[in-house]
Structure 1
Amino acid sequence: MSRAPDDDPVSKTLRLPLALTWVGLLAERLLRAFWPVTSIVMAVLAALMLGLHELAPIEAVWILGVIAILATLWFTLRGGRRFRWPRRAEALARLDETLPGRPIQALLDDQAVGAGDAASAAVWHAHQARMQARLAEARAVHPDPQLARRDPFALRYVALLALLVGLIFGSVWRVGSVAGMAPGGAPAVAGGPAWEGWIEPPRYTGLPTLYLNDISGSDLRLPENSQITLRFYGEIGALTLAETVSGRIGEVPSASDPQQDFTVTRSGDLRIDGPGGRAWKVSVIRDAVPEVGIAGPAEVGPQGQMTLPFRARDDYGIVSGQAVIALDMDQIARRYGLAVAPEPRDLITVDLPMPITGDRKDFSEKLIEDFSKHPWANLPVTVTLSVMDAAGQTGVSAPFASPLPARRFFDPLAAAVAEQRRDLLWSRENAVRVAQVLRAISHRPDEVFRSQTAYLRLRVALRRLENYTAHGLTPSERDEVAEALWTLALALEEGDLGDALERLRRAQERLSEAMKNGASDQEIAELMQELRDATDDYMRQLSRQARENGETGEQATPSGDAVQMTQNDLQRMMDRIQELMEQGRMAEAQQALQEFQQMMENMRVTQGEGQDGSSEGQRAMDGLADTLRNQQGLSDQAFRDLQQQFNPDSGAGQSQQNQGQSGGQGRGQSHEGQQGQGSGQGGETGGETGQRPGEEGALAERQQALRRELDRQRGGLPGAGTPDGDAARDALDRAGRAMDGAEEALRGNDLAEAIDRQSEAIEALREGMRSLGEAMAQQQRQTRQGQGMAEGDAQGRARDPLGREAGANGAVGSDQGLLQGEDVYRRARELLDEIRRRSGEGARPRIELDYLRRLLDRF
């Protein structure tokens, strides 16, 4: 049996949890009984604070008010009938339900059986002691009103949201204004007249609406064109309006009208006369006219694009802008085709670019357009910019006089065709003259045109022009001929220069014309880059021709007074030409360009001997170089797989020099898992590189194939019997053993050991290639000495057209080592190992890790 809750022995222990649980029960029952009442009250208050009653007819306001009052009374009575005051025993029972074993009920119970037995009593007291200990775990029970079942549409949350909106965007003072809507206005009369006012600035200003009743002070600073709304409550005539800020004339509403609306257009006074009235001194903030201006000189790109910087500003922001370009007739030299009166043409109108993001109050932008095909191209014009703000005000810049930036033609023939096109578009009266000039140009095509195609295109355009002119040239026919002439001018300027030497000559001629015509720095830089590209193409063609002659056994020997030049020498000459042009020393630049042109045209290729021994050594060096690249690729891929084991988020980089995950200089496996292709000569290495990263078995197979390829190359290695040749074979033996060790480590999934063995193989391969190169160089020197040739001549024949020593003859680079007295290959390996070590440290900054991985991808 159990004792009554009032006599329980746990009241002191559970005083706080029990009180909180009881309060939770009370809150639950109040919410369950009266949640409709609170929802109705919140909704009504929200409507009053937002002023919705002022927008609706007074009859609708009263009908809704009566409905709200009746609903509140009905839900209050229903909630009162359902509400039950929570008892202490209920709170104890709820708290006891949350504890394991219901200890509260156990402590309230008495022993009914075996009370006289000492052993049974001892067990009972031990049980109650354990239950007493569990009371320390008692915590207050959170209330659970379970309103979702009673309010399935969440109307209580809708009412709460409306109340919050009213508190934020409405006014508590509006709640009292409903009293003035009583029948006959009795409440309003009893409380006296009242008024409300709102100030709404123009939307483009971005300023908030102001509640006039909450503004303290008598001074108001308002943006121009702000809208003021006033409402008078109470007896009509008790409150009146007096203002001088709207500037209204004509039929003006009565000063005592209950609703007043007007716009602020000037500074003045605003006063409400009557009980509770107020007065303000209004100062108008004028909307400034937007400003725009040219921010710098107009520039022209290599292809004729005009770049015109400008700056615009406004107090609230620019909406749009335009640039109007007009022909400046007073500045035009009226001669040749421009002597006749021009045909009427519309002004050029283009929209100014506006910032897509950010503030438009003060910004700088660039107008970029291409007017190369317009008849006014390169003629004097005036550019006028205009911008408009949201208020419709327009700001105009001062006219900017300048030639209309457009493409310039440096080829004389192309410039002549472009000029005749312009004259034809200037006026159709020039058609006969243009036809005569074009016919004169094409009189002796062999002396003028470099391409038969360009000559034929000119003749076609000329024939069309003469036929159209004979029957009366129409605007559409004129535009057709003009388009053909424009295409021809571009072809003449850019040309179809498939031959490297022709392209080089064309680049030199264009640069020479640019010097004469006073080209800009940007145009000079563009033409110099074209000259550099053409020079590179020409040198590649010479080298390819030299290799072809070497394969057929031919030799090209320079004359006795020939001067060898390296690629750096050519680069310095071109840099000097560009420097002279940028300094304005055009005469010196022109002379240097002529010397450069003569030197390039007189350049001949020098080629080493083409005996079988040299060809065999070349093939051996090429094969070892491919093997070295493939081994480097395998090592890099194994390193990336090791990185991914410790840092799964790390990914392999990709660059133009490293196409795939294998890294190095070889073409290994792609990042997407597609198969790559090795660059070795053996068919085994190239076909087994298509495995996915991280599959050590696939890497082991590729390592095995690379080892077999090395054995095959070692069998055909030249230089047997010489010290350097034997050293090369010993180095390749060490590389093979290191490859075997790397293969075993890969099959055992020991990536760290595999990387070490692969590094040893790479170093041994480099040492073998160096020894083989020295053996071949020694053999070459002995051969030339036997033929009675001087050592200096031997070195000269070992150089390519740029004066560089060819790798096939054993040279490793320049005449002197980069690191005197130090093993270059050992130092390179140390640097690569250090880069790998640092890239594996995840604690380093992300930007440093990205840089290190790019270095690994490159090297």
Structure 2
Amino acid sequence: MASFSRHDVARSLKGLRWPLRLTWSGMLAERVVQSFWPLTTVVLLVLASLMLGLQDSLVVEVVWSIAVLSLLAGAAALFYGLQRFRVPSGAEAMTRLDSSLPDRPLQALADTQTIGAEDAASSAVWRAHQARMAERAAKAQPVPADLRISARDPYALRYIAVIAFAVALIFGSIWRVGSVTEMAPGAGGLASGPVWEGWAESPRYTGRPTIYLNDIDSGVLEVPEGSLITLRLYGEVGALTLSETVSGRTEVPPASEPAQDFIVSRSGEIAINGPGGRTWQVDVIEDMPPEIAVLGPPEASALGETTLPFEASDDYGVEAGEARFTLDLVAVDRRYGLTIDPEPRPELIVPLPTPIAGDRSAFEENLIEDFSEHPWANLPVEVSLTAFDGAEQTAQTSPRAIVLPGRRFFDPLAAAVIEARRDLLWSRGNITRTAQVLRAITWQPDDVFRSETDLLRLRRVIGQLDVHAKHGMSDEKRDRLADDLWDLALLLEEGDLADAAERMRRAQERLEEAIRNGASDEEIAELMRELRRATEDYLQQLSRQAQRQQEENGETGQQGNPENSMTMTQDDLQQMMDRIQELMEQGRMAEAQQALQELQQMMENMRVTQGQQGQGGQSPGEQAMEGLSETLRDQQGLSDQAFRDLQEQFNPNAQAGESQGNEGRNGGQGEGQSHEGQNGQGQGDGDQNAQQGDPSQPGDGSDPGGSIADRQQALRDELRRQQGSLPGAGTPEGDAARDALDRAGRAMEGAEDALREDDLAGAIDEQGRAMEALREGMRSLAEMMNEDQQQQPGQGAQDSDRRADNRDPLGREAGNSGADGDDGPLALNDDAYGRARDLLDEIRRRSGEVARPEVERDYLRRLLDRF
């Protein structure tokens, strides 16, 4: 077999020239890197040390010791590289290129036929073989170089050198390398190169970078006001001196002082006098004060929440702001309990919200606060807004006379209690008068009070006032009595919120009282929305109660006398509500009040009809839908508990469920309740329904000792069991439902892992994804059930009859998700959008409070980014 040479390959296939050259170049780079990486490491480390000025902070002896060690290390590294470096030959490049091809075609092309050369058939076969090898060789591509040297550098010293050199490039200077020559033996006078260093550091709030003065030639230098100038003079003391007229300092250090630091307060000149010195004419960029203005009068909701729009701007951005409220004593109507001089109170100061992220140079925001419990609520005050910038400059609006918005109480008894509370907070000299007024209210309780409990609470307050009138009252006791009176007024105004019927009745009475007292349009609209919510809650309670009674009695048909009751459709109630609101907007208050009374009478005569249950029980799809709805409620409960735990991380003084703003699963205040939903009234209907089944079901709160992560795992196992019995396999809707449940399971698993790692914010995000996937699965399952009902002949009429019998008083079907009428036309009404806007405003307000922990504010910002 002939020898292997480049000449043979070039003669057979000239197109291999460039792949071969590139392969050879890669081999050359590979051998350079593998041989000289120690030398590169030593050079980069030495340069990084010099550029960072290590030689300026060490004594001369240590610097020269390090220099000798560096030279020895460099020489050793150079010797190491020269010993191992070999220039690759063309034959080696050919061999590497040939080994990258199948069957080594280049070697085959270099071979010659030694047997059967005289045989025509054998020669033909050989030529065919050579042609085939030539085709494969023509497809040759350059072989990339292998630059990995991890086996030779197990401690990654090369990476350390690269990182050190990158830091030196960013924070150091190449000019510092020359300062090492000053330490040479026999060097006299000033060293060549730069013999001073300087920096101009702008105030942090400006966002401008620090300027390295050695890189700035003599001329004009523009810096913001308040910039810090730092200068370091090296060499013989007195060889260089400093003169400046920009700081206005009264105590000036010697001009030859090696370290000079001063603040730029005005335009002027900075000069470094001596060899290599420079002179700059400094122009100060003036920092303008911020600006702030009120965009309109404050707006107040019927529940007392105040919204004050404003705008603020600054050249570098507004840092913070505040609103100051002072009592306008001259404008106060000094009658009744306000006749006496008020006790001195400090100004009411509220921080202004600012944008969470982005540019703060100009923005518009709303101050959203509830001042209803403040002693100045509904009294004349003067408000002024103040904005601060990074230089502690301020801008303040002129005082604006307003009435501090507060909640209005339409119930006469509640309004009287609130007025007594106001008088008590106005001055403790009103104790006797306040007790007399409250005692007059209780003179004939049967005509005034609806509950014996409310009467007892008020008499208890009266007794405490009598005691304090004799022995004096501290600020703490006064505030405690004021809180008791506020809670009593809310109870008298709103009634017992746990009873949906009472809440609806109270909403109707408050609306009637507001109509009689000439309330504003905003207050009437708010009360109308509250009536809609209360009516919907009442209807849902009626529906659940009738269903429970039917199940307990084993009834399957309609009960009672239909002629003696009334069934309202959804359209009927919607039309009546719209009609009442339209009459109030037109100012026809008498007709609106009459229509409201008719609505109240219809609601009292309403009954709930239940569907026939004798049609063979639930279908597999209905059973699956019911199970998934239960899983969704349990997942919502776990998410609520995780959020409460996250809140209490930021309030170390809170006990279980006592955080401010802590809400239970049903949206009520969770104060005083455990997170497991075992005590108090914070347990929602979803928990009650869950506890009617297996007490070991996840999320029912039956295991107060178990961790939330274990309950999350149990809920995921339950979802996996439900997936196994899910109907509709092979149908598009069934497959979509299964895919959605798979995503829900993965999200639950992620939430479980986050809970075990105590990452509550991440767990809440994963739980939200799980709930969204569960809803998608339920929608797909509902579509599948609808398709099945349409395809089954004769089934539609039975299902229609059954759904007609299973309507609630609004004509809505009781959904399998456990919430009646979720898919009806009333599901997304104007009230729902209004509540969503209110919730978004509350999240935005809390996220702008700088007093809240950064972790909580980060979670609120992520909520704003999502919605």
TM superposition score normalised by structure 1? 0.64
Provide the rounded CA distance (Å) in 1 between the counterparts of 2:223 and 2:603: 83
C-alpha distance 327-58 of structure 1, shift in aligned 2 (>3 A): farther
- 1:569 Cα deviation from its structure 2 partner: 6.5
- 1:65 Cα deviation from its structure 2 partner: 2.5
Provide the rounded CA distance (Å) in 2 between the counterparts of 1:192 and 1:483: 76
Q: Secondary structure, in 3 states, of the residue corresponding to 1:148?
A: coil
1:305–1:368 CA contact under 8 A, matched in 2:
yes
C-alpha distance 109-694 of structure 1, shift in aligned 2 (>3 A): same
- 1:142 Cα deviation from its structure 2 partner: 3.2
1:397-796 to 2 correspondences below 5 Å: 397-496=397-496, 507=507, 509-515=509-515, 517-531=517-531, 570-571=576-577, 573-580=579-586, 585=587, 588-589=588-589, 591-596=590-595, 623=612, 691-695=725-729, 758-759=789-790, 761=792, 765-766=796-797
For the pair 1:281 / 2:315, whether they are aligned, the reply is no
1:70-109 to 2 correspondences below 5 Å: 70-105=72-107
Provide the rounded CA distance (Å) in 1 between the counterparts of 2:29 and 2:67: 28
Provide the rounded CA distance (Å) in 2 between the counterparts of 1:455 and 1:230: 78
1:379 aligns to what? 379
- 1:52 Cα deviation from its structure 2 partner: 4.0
For the pair 1:201 / 2:232, whether they are aligned, the reply is no
C-alpha distance 492-184 of structure 1, shift in aligned 2 (>3 A): same
- 1:247 Cα deviation from its structure 2 partner: 1.6
2:690 aligns to what? none
- Residue identity opposite 1:300 in structure 2: A
- 1:381 Cα deviation from its structure 2 partner: 2.2
Provide the rounded CA distance (Å) in 2 between the counterparts of 1:86 and 1:597: 99
Provide the rounded CA distance (Å) in 2 between the counterparts of 1:515 and 1:754: 48
C-alpha distance 201-761 of structure 1, shift in aligned 2 (>3 A): same
1:291–1:387 CA contact under 8 A, matched in 2:
yes
Q: Secondary structure, in 3 states, of the residue corresponding to 1:449?
A: coil
Deviations 1:318-370 (Å, cap 9, x if unpaired)? 33333333222222222211122223333333333333322333333333333
C-alpha distance 288-52 of structure 1, shift in aligned 2 (>3 A): farther
Provide the rounded CA distance (Å) in 1 between the counterparts of 2:448 and 2:94: 113
Provide the rounded CA distance (Å) in 1 between the counterparts of 2:140 and 2:604: 99
Q: Secondary structure, in 3 states, of the residue corresponding to 1:84?
A: coil
C-alpha distance 128-369 of structure 1, shift in aligned 2 (>3 A): closer
1:722 aligns to what? none
C-alpha distance 120-257 of structure 1, shift in aligned 2 (>3 A): same
- Residue identity opposite 2:728 in structure 1: G
Provide the rounded CA distance (Å) in 1 between the counterparts of 2:293 and 2:31: 73
2:836 aligns to what? none
1:322–1:352 CA contact under 8 A, matched in 2:
yes
Q: Secondary structure, in 3 states, of the residue corresponding to 2:418?
A: helix
- 1:267 Cα deviation from its structure 2 partner: 0.7
Provide the rounded CA distance (Å) in 1 between the counterparts of 2:606 and 2:7: 118
1:197–1:212 CA contact under 8 A, matched in 2:
yes
Provide the rounded CA distance (Å) in 2 between the counterparts of 1:753 and 1:311: 53
- 1:574 Cα deviation from its structure 2 partner: 0.8
1:307–1:367 CA contact under 8 A, matched in 2:
yes
1:93-132 to 2 correspondences below 5 Å: 93-105=95-107
Provide the rounded CA distance (Å) in 2 between the counterparts of 1:801 and 1:9: 94
Provide the rounded CA distance (Å) in 2 between the counterparts of 1:424 and 1:768: 64
Give aligned pairs, total: 652
- Residue identity opposite 1:695 in structure 2: A
Provide the rounded CA distance (Å) in 1 between the counterparts of 2:326 and 2:346: 9
- Residue identity opposite 2:216 in structure 1: I
User: Larger C-alpha radius of gyration, 1 or 2?
Assistant: 1
1:352-391 to 2 correspondences below 5 Å: 352-391=352-391
For the pair 1:342 / 2:342, whether they are aligned, the reply is yes
- Residue identity opposite 1:451 in structure 2: S
2:521–2:585 CA contact under 8 A, matched in 1:
no
2:744 aligns to what? none
- 1:418 Cα deviation from its structure 2 partner: 1.3
- 1:497 Cα deviation from its structure 2 partner: 8.9
Provide the rounded CA distance (Å) in 2 between the counterparts of 1:6 and 1:193: 57
2:832 aligns to what? none
- 1:32 Cα deviation from its structure 2 partner: 2.8
1:306 aligns to what? 306
2:771 aligns to what? none
Provide the rounded CA distance (Å) in 2 between the counterparts of 1:7 and 1:567: 98
C-alpha distance 63-452 of structure 1, shift in aligned 2 (>3 A): same
- Residue identity opposite 2:351 in structure 1: D
Deviations 1:3-52 (Å, cap 9, x if unpaired)? 48487564674544444444334333333332211222222233334444
C-alpha distance 516-42 of structure 1, shift in aligned 2 (>3 A): same
1:528–1:578 CA contact under 8 A, matched in 2:
no
Deviations 1:273-317 (Å, cap 9, x if unpaired)? 344443322111222333334333223333323333333333223
Q: Secondary structure, in 3 states, of the residue corresponding to 1:333?
A: coil
For the pair 1:270 / 2:270, whether they are aligned, the reply is yes
Q: Secondary structure, in 3 states, of the residue corresponding to 2:44?
A: helix
2:189–2:236 CA contact under 8 A, matched in 1:
no
2:154 aligns to what? 152
Provide the rounded CA distance (Å) in 2 between the counterparts of 1:230 and 1:696: 78
Provide the rounded CA distance (Å) in 2 between the counterparts of 1:674 and 1:23: 63
1:777 aligns to what? none
Provide the rounded CA distance (Å) in 1 between the counterparts of 2:399 and 2:280: 45
C-alpha distance 201-370 of structure 1, shift in aligned 2 (>3 A): same
Alignment RMSD, CA only? 5.0
Provide the rounded CA distance (Å) in 1 between the counterparts of 2:594 and 2:785: 57
- 1:245 Cα deviation from its structure 2 partner: 1.1
Provide the rounded CA distance (Å) in 1 between the counterparts of 2:243 and 2:579: 85
Q: Secondary structure, in 3 states, of the residue corresponding to 1:250?
A: coil
C-alpha distance 57-499 of structure 1, shift in aligned 2 (>3 A): closer
1:53–1:61 CA contact under 8 A, matched in 2:
yes
For the pair 1:68 / 2:75, whether they are aligned, the reply is no
1:193–1:275 CA contact under 8 A, matched in 2:
no
C-alpha distance 492-604 of structure 1, shift in aligned 2 (>3 A): closer
Provide the rounded CA distance (Å) in 2 between the counterparts of 1:147 and 1:454: 84
Q: Secondary structure, in 3 states, of the residue corresponding to 1:67?
A: helix
1:624–1:769 CA contact under 8 A, matched in 2:
no
2:294–2:309 CA contact under 8 A, matched in 1:
yes
C-alpha distance 57-381 of structure 1, shift in aligned 2 (>3 A): farther
Provide the rounded CA distance (Å) in 2 between the counterparts of 1:557 and 1:238: 107
- 1:447 Cα deviation from its structure 2 partner: 2.9
Deviations 1:590-628 (Å, cap 9, x if unpaired)? x324543665688799999xxxxxxxxx99xx6599899
Q: Secondary structure, in 3 states, of the residue corresponding to 1:321?
A: strand
C-alpha distance 199-119 of structure 1, shift in aligned 2 (>3 A): same
2:632 aligns to what? none
- 1:692 Cα deviation from its structure 2 partner: 0.2
TM superposition score normalised by structure 2? 0.63
C-alpha distance 56-214 of structure 1, shift in aligned 2 (>3 A): same
Provide the rounded CA distance (Å) in 2 between the counterparts of 1:484 and 1:380: 25
2:230–2:261 CA contact under 8 A, matched in 1:
yes
Provide the rounded CA distance (Å) in 1 between the counterparts of 2:34 and 2:540: 91
C-alpha distance 167-625 of structure 1, shift in aligned 2 (>3 A): farther
Identity %: 50
2:754 aligns to what? none
- Residue identity opposite 2:242 in structure 1: L
- Residue identity opposite 1:198 in structure 2: W
C-alpha distance 521-177 of structure 1, shift in aligned 2 (>3 A): farther
1:782 aligns to what? none
Provide the rounded CA distance (Å) in 2 between the counterparts of 1:146 and 1:401: 76
2:710 aligns to what? none
- 1:244 Cα deviation from its structure 2 partner: 0.9
Higher mean alpha-carbon deviation, 369-378 vs 622-631, is at: 622-631
C-alpha distance 250-606 of structure 1, shift in aligned 2 (>3 A): closer
Structure 1 stretches lacking a partner, 5+ long: 559-564, 609-617, 638-658, 660-670, 676-687, 701-751, 774-799, 805-859
C-alpha distance 16-467 of structure 1, shift in aligned 2 (>3 A): closer
